[in-house]
Structure 1
Amino acid sequence: MSGTTLAEWLRAQEDHALVALLRARPDLATPPPADTAVLATRIGSRASVARACEDLDTLTLTVLEALLVLDADLAPVDAKAVRALFGKTDVRPALRLLRARALLWGPDDALSTPPASRDAVTPFPCGLGRSVPGLVDVDVDDLPEDERRVLRALAAGPPVGQTKDAARLVPLEGATTPIQKLLARGLLVRRDAQTVELPREVGLKVRGASPLGPVQAKEPALGTVARDPSTVDHTGGGAALELSRHVEALLRGWSDEPPAVLRSGGVGVRELRKLARDLDVDERRAALLVELVVNAGLVADSDGAEPEWVPTTQTDAWLVAAPEHRWAALAQAWVDLPRLPGLIGRRDDRDRLLNPLAPELNRPAAPRDRRRVLEALAALEPGTSVTDPDELAAVLAWRAPRRGGRLRDELVRWTVEEGTAVGVLALGALTAQGRTLLAEGPAAAAKRLGDALPAPVDHVLVQADLTVVAPGRLDPELADEIALVADVESAGGATVYRVHEGSVRRAFDAGRSAADLHELFRARSRTPVPQSLTYLIDDAARKHGRLRGGAAGSFLRCDDPVLVAEVLAHPASERLELRRIAPTVLVGPLPLAEVLDVLRAAGFAPAAEGPDGRVLDLREGGRRIAGKGRRRTAQPTTPSDEQLDELVRLVRAGDRAATTTGGARVSVPGHLGAGPSATLDLLQRAARLGRSVLVDFVDGHGTAARRVITPHVVGGGVLEGVDVSYGEVRRFPLHRITSAALVEDDGA
């Protein structure tokens, strides 16, 4: 049976079909193919076929393997023979898809696949071995049971097996084992001293009515539960706020005590455990937070002799941003993360523990695979929850069995787990803000989250046990004030803070007065302010600030000479090198911040004051380094339809030029300006006759390009003519033109 070649089939296709092909297989368009023959060669390359197969579902891939079982890569086959292998399963959609991807071409009675398909897909299509034509009429029904058992095992796939019985061939009368007997009968083929293979014809006979084995014609069922979309969105909003709170705590902690960078890169086990304790989270969540802040550009390696993980200058802008914008930056960093945090805590091939930020976690394909999981969830109706991530993994495995590698199924589970922690997913469903993030980007997602979050509350509930309950998300100003005077005791839908003497002193150290704190709770509490809180503030205020410090290095002053004498008599004063210069004044050479820290540790309650006598806030803002930008893996740009249309027009022009010149092209010699040349003659002749030429040239950026030009003027070192694709007059320096060929039909 004879068939058309791939190049002939491509030339017969409509332009829109070629555009669709180039969109589905973008590797074919880079660099632009000169003509259909080059495109056909590229389509049939092993690497390109392998890439094209990555997006095929299980049934379509099985159909391609069935074509290889029929040796469609060697000679055309009839579509009826393919359909016969699948029985009642309708494979016509799969055949159409293979044609659209140019993995199959020709009429129904002469279908062909690229010769490289067998190497790119599998050497044993559908689990069947290589063909031995002489065994077409073999009968296996009368074989002994032990021999049939061996054939059934190999027929189930793979068709090769390791055995010591293949060391040498023995005649049937001398064979003692089933393998030796089957080799003697010719029903097995010896490949080497330890390997036997079941021929394709024998495997088909053994399989009988199921020649291709079990065929997964439909994708697995996916268990789902319908939930109220608003419930999903609100739950995700709560997770987003929790994420923002944890990241803020991480940044503030690492501002004061940056963890060291391991020699091998990453964060050490002790630092991770400390972070988990400080944030009151498990180590998996702490590790995810570390990966996020680095990929978001909020933390970076300080480099140097003793590098540390230090917050960057971008941290300050992030800290003052609205909660929804904080979340959007982190969520986008997670979607784009070119790493697999799920591997943290495992061991590599050399039994080394994989730490957060370790180089071994890098996976350039991770963003693509993560988006694939999220887009599968986005295809469900809003509020639809997946009950079991393993079922989602099975569905995605059916849709693209050649994607993901050995971590394919685990990556689905990790994506669901991490997406829930980040707030992109909630209750097994994609949130509205998650959908918006995928479709429109972080700015639109931030707005969508802002709509989903409840309005900030402007009040708190003060309890008699000195706890302060925030019945929702506090407005930023109130949140800052409460965080200054109280510590978070528990977080959630309602955050519980606790006020104690140390937290009140912290507010005083920051410049708040007792009157300020009384007014804060009086104005913002919806419950009566308990006397115990009033007494606590007043008692701390009486002790606070009685001892004042300034710069001498530093000075201490107090209206009470007895307290000054007590400080001077304390052992800490010797370390601080304090001396009395007046009954109520002490001075010392050390910085004021250090003096105050030592005195507070000794049990005193000093306050810092400025030249005007007002209390100063001497808390350090934390270390900062210059940001290094988000770590991203370069993603290939998708050409537009206009670009693909232009590329198809150039391929067609290349075909016509090859027809006109017999496949030859005229190249520009290096001495073009020194005298006439074949190329110059060709361009001038095209200008006189009004013919179009296919011109290859190098633009001003050194990039090779191709255009179909109708020359008007050729001379003075310049080709001037109409670009047929755009209808514009363009000028090309002749020294940049590398080759040219006449185009047979100017109407391209």
Structure 2
Amino acid sequence: MTDTESPQPGSAPHEGVVTLTDWMSSRTDEQLTEMLRLRPDLTVPPPATLDVLAGRSQQRASVLRAAEDLDTLALTVVEYLALERADDNPVSRTRLDTLVGKRATKKSVTAALDVLRSRALVRGTTDLTMVPSARDAVPWRVGRILDAKPELTAERVDAALASIEPRERELLTTLAKSSSIGRTKDAAPGTPPDRPVQRLLAAGLLTWLDENTVELPQQVSQALRGEPVSDPSSLTPPAVTAVSHPISDIDATAAGEALELLRQCASVLDALGSAPAPTLKAGGLGVRELRRVAKSAEVDETRVALVVELLAAAGLIASGMPDPPPPGDNGDDMWAPTPALDAWTAASPAKRWAALATGWLETARLPWLIGMRDANDKPVAALSDEARSTAAPRDRRVVLGVLADLRAGESVDVADLVRTATWRRPRIAPRLGLTPVTKFVAEATTLGIVAHGALTSAGRALIRGADAAAAMHTAMPEPIDYVLVQADLTVVAPGPLTPELHQTMALIADVESAGAATMYRLGETSLRRALDAGMSAAELHALFAGTSRTPIPQALTYLIDDVARRHGRLRAGVASAFVRCEDPALLAEVLASPAAEPLALRALAPTVAISQAPLADVLAHLRAAGFAPAGEDSSGTIVDVTTRGARVVGRRSRPLYRTPAVPTDEQLGRLVGEMRAGTKASEVRRSEGVRSDGTRASGAATIALLQRAAASRSSVSIGYVDAAGVSSERVVEPVAVGGGQLDAWDPAGGLVRHFTLHRITSVSLLG
């Protein structure tokens, strides 16, 4: 039920209600549950009564948090109510409509008031009362709406800025980079008109507030910072120019980007698995190591910075002690893949993409900051704390939410995106400037969440909590189970391969080029790799015969047979390692080669030699010397000794910032019932005289008594329970009451103290 509907039977009417506690009592359980859902901080710790809830909901910090999601219209309504002092005396809805005028429709103002009431920032329908702290939620100077200059369009601002002198522009730039309000004696009447401030006032580039104060209009500030210019007095969302694209084209482009990103992620994971990267002392991945990974993975360095952030967000890489440790390990932490990589690799491409996209959407980091200079003029390292931002997930959702509200396939330029996002969330407008929004869209494009400036079907499903993997699976081309073998020993995969065939091709061939179609190169080294893994020549012939849509070239048949004939004639095993060969001449050649010395090979018989080096090292050295040995186990069966790469188990680090858990609707419903019961029990106890000193009748009476004492500058005696639960009696002189807090002069301490209202147990007026 909204406030414009009739209250349910048994509920008190809203009009005439003075206190916030009584107004909350008149709300339905559903309305209170919704308020607690929108303001979860009010539930920690659970308030015992509605009295406590009302006091807590007026706390400045809680009010500012509740106002984060308010748009420009709702905050302007708060501004008008603040100008009319609605925190002291109710303001009629008719008066508010008169103030708003034609800037917004009555329907939209009603909707804004419903939003404010749902958060307990405003109460009443015909007569409106505002929580005092709500004034502080307005992110601009209260009263700016009265001085707004809608005539300052982007063209007029540019023309005016072009006509001023460098000294005057410097003055404006200083205001644009700091506070928009400046203090100057040159604003006083009678100041010579040739002074810079007077010239800027005459040109409309400054707004006169009083004889000592001027303000930089928002449009001028935006133009100086290179931001899209918007009218601050507009109470309607900015008009945007949407361009329509076929959704099929958008999804197809996104699928291509997603597949390319998955290939790059696999390359970076292989590089980090083969050679883990040391963790910087301050955390993160150093520039030199980032370049090494980029070179090894054959991926652009800027793209690698984003890729490692995505992999970390998805839990696929972490910093810790890798297993097995790399050569020359000194015990320091290193960045390497986690055990989650194995399950991720085995998943379908769409599910692998969904893991990356979800990680990016929820990560409290800004990957686009990598490489920029920090406060100490040092480049921001990948995976470092300097790129951390707890507001990042929220900001991404605001930007993508603007695109989600367009029709499928529609895109807008970044300037319109910035204007709309900042109109919707003016309190976080500094974080939604041209640069951050552009970077958000660029990252979303790389991930396939956005394509051609429009939200993809998979991106829309992602931000709405639907099955994003299924949407991306539909957009991706169907995996194919065949390849095209060429006469030059290249193999073309004209689309994404099935997971099984993809893994097989990665084993027996080297990627030469990737894209919509992947080109593989067959060679002696790649075929030997397949034989080392246990495949036989017959299996290789059968594989190409069964998967190639083109005839098998004779050169490939000869190559397979030739490599297989030479492969395994020389065999190495564990002794630590042994080398055996049916051809004594070949083994003698091995013992006389340069590889024998570092391996410390020693002949036991004409066909057998041993080494103390590990089997993998023996095989590597012999292959490097030009031989083609095969590994075998104790039974003589060929074994694959290829390592899977290092793995590191990520440690659960204590988060730098904690956000309150959002309770479920069922939990909130129970809490509302408990507060109503607690309020009723409190009223019964007060009616029976069960109270500390008999002076406090209700929370409303306490506030009224304190406000009266503040107005008459009288002293009061208060009973107070501090955060440690210690009770005390104090004599103070109230100064101000509001926002859930009492500010009072303490004669004993000689200073102003602050008391939380719901901790005051009794009040007695002393005179």
Q: Of the candidates 144, 159, 162, which is equivalent to residue 183 of structure 2?
A: 162
CA distance in 2, matches of 1:23, 1:315: 37
For 1:50, the equivalent position in structure 2 comes to 64
Relative to structure 1, the CA distance from residue 119 to residue 482 in structure 2 (aligned partners, 3 Å threshold; closer, same or farther) is closer
The within-5 A match list for 1:509-548 is 509-548=532-571
CA distance in 2, matches of 1:553, 1:242: 43
Cα offset, 1:107, TM superposition: 5.3
Q: What is aligned with 1:317?
A: 343
Residues 4, 106 of structure 1: 8 Å contact kept: no
Contact persistence 1:386–1:392 (CA under 8 A): no
* 1:124 lines up with 2:141 in the alignment: yes
Residues 394-430 of structure 1 deviation map (CA, whole Å, 9 limit, x = unaligned): 2111111112643555443333222232233333333
Structure 1, gaps ≥5 residues long: 131-148, 181-186, 199-212, 669-748
Distance in 1 between residues matched to 2:195 and 2:378, nearest whole Å: 46
Aligned length: 618
Q: Retained in 1: the 8 A contact 2:268–2:294?
A: no
Pairing 1:241–2:262 present: no
8 A contact 2:372–2:379 mirrored in 1 = yes
On the 8 A contact 2:445/2:451 being kept in 1, the answer is: yes
- Counterpart in 2 of 1:364? 390
> Aligned ranges for residues 79-118 of structure 1 at < 5 Å?
79-89=93-103, 90-91=105-106, 92-93=109-110, 94-106=112-124, 108=126, 110-118=127-135
Out of 596, 610, 625, the position equivalent to 2:648 is 625
Q: Distance in 1 between matches of 2:398 and 2:482?
A: 43
Letter in 2 for 1:453: M
1:436 pairs, out of 461, 485, 489, with 461
1:345 pairs with 368, 371, 389, which one? 371
Query: After alignment, is 254-263 or 336-345 more displaced?
Result: 336-345
How big is the shift at 1:655? 4.4
Task: Work out which of the residue numbers 610, 628, 638 in structure 2 matches 1:605.
Answer: 628
CA distance in 2, matches of 1:541, 1:178: 87
Distance 2:474 2:351 in 1: 12
2:412/2:454 contact within 8 Å kept:
no
- Structure number with the bigger relative contact order (C-alpha 8 A, sep ≥ 6) is 2
Query: Helix, strand or coil for the counterpart of 1:536?
Result: helix
1:189-228 matches, cutoff 5 A = 196=213, 215-228=233-246
Give, in angstroms, the shift of residue 468 of structure 1: 0.4
**Aligned residue identity for 2:59:** S
Tell me the CA shift for residue 96 of structure 1: 4.1
Equivalence for 1:301: 319
| CA displacement at 1:481 relative to structure 2 | 1.8
Structure 1 pair 568/649, CA: closer, same or farther in 2 (3 Å)? closer
What TM-score, normalized to structure 2?
0.72
SS at match of 1:215: coil
1:660–1:481: structure 2 CA closer, same or farther, 3 Å change rule?
closer
Aligned to 2:420: 395
> What amino acid is the match of 1:388?
D
Note if contact 1:433-1:445 (Cα within 8 Å) is conserved in structure 2: yes
- Higher deviation after alignment, 598-607 or 218-227: 218-227
Residue 4 (structure 1) aligned to one of 12, 18, 24: 18
1:610 Cα offset (Å): 3.0
SS at match of 1:161: strand
Change (3 A) 1:455 1:107: closer
Aligned residue number for residue 556 of structure 1: 579
Match of 2:686 in 1: 662
> How far, CA to CA, are the matches of 2:20 and 2:313 in structure 1?
45
Is 1:38 matched with 2:62?
A: no
Q: Partner of 1:135 in structure 2?
A: none
In 2, are the aligned partners of 1:59 and 1:215 still within 8 Å (CA)? no
Alignment of 1:583-732 (within 5 A): 583-628=606-651, 636-662=660-686
Q: Which moved more, 1:601-610 or 1:232-241?
A: 232-241
Partners in 2 of 1:656 and 1:310 — Cα distance?
59
Deviations 1:548-578 (A, max 9, x none): 2233333333344443333232233223222
Q: Which residue number in structure 2 is paired with residue 254 of structure 1?
A: 272
- Counterpart CA distance in 1 for 2:511 and 2:39 is 54
Query: Does the 8 Å CA contact 1:324/1:450 hold for their aligned counterparts?
Result: yes
Per the alignment, in what secondary structure is the counterpart of residue 488 of structure 1?
Answer: strand
- 1:309 CA drift (Å): 1.2
* Residue 14 of structure 1, CA deviation: 4.4
Alignment partner of 1:497: what SS? strand
Residue 279 (structure 1) aligned with residue 282 (structure 2): no
Tell me the equivalent position of 1:727. Answer: none
Task: Verify the 8 A CA contact 2:319 2:650 in the aligned structure 1.
Answer: no
* Unmatched 5+ stretches in structure 2: 1-15, 148-167, 199-207, 216-230, 322-329, 693-767
For the Cα contact (< 8 Å) 2:139–2:426, is it kept in 1? no
Residue 127 of structure 1: how far off its partner (Å):
2.7
3-state SS in 2 of match to 1:586: strand
The answer to whether the Cα contact below 8 Å between 1:272 and 1:283 also exists between their aligned partners in 2 is yes
Seq. identity, %? 47
Classify 1:467/1:222 alpha carbon distance in 2 versus 1 (closer, same or farther; 3 Å): farther
Residues 1:98 and 1:622: Cα distance change in structure 2 (over 3 Å): closer
Q: Distance in 2 between matches of 1:580 and 1:656?
A: 95
> Equivalents in 1 of 2:679, 2:631: separation in Å?
84
Among 580, 594, 614, the residue aligned to 1:571: 594
The Cα shift of 1:297 comes to 2.3
Question: What SS does structure 1 have at the residue aligned with 2:589?
Answer: helix
**Highest CA radius of gyration, 1 or 2?**
1
- TM-score using structure 1 length: 0.73
Offset at residue 588 of structure 1 (A): 2.9
The answer to whether the 8 Å contact 1:62/1:126 transfers is no
Query: Equivalents in 2 of 1:284, 1:321: separation in Å?
Result: 27
C-alpha displacement of 1:389:
3.3
Aligned partners of 2:79, 2:629: CA distance in 1, in Å?
81
- CA displacement 1:625-672 (0-9 Å, x = unmatched): 33446998765444444444444444444444444443788599xxxx
Determine helix, strand or coil for the equivalent of 1:233.
helix
SS at 1:478 equivalent: helix
CA distance, structure 2, for counterparts of residue 504 and residue 415 of structure 1: 43
Q: What is residue 473 of structure 2 aligned with on the other side?
A: 450
Give the 3 Å change call, closer, same or farther, for CA 10–591 of structure 1 in structure 2.
closer
Q: Which amino acid aligns with 1:417?
A: A
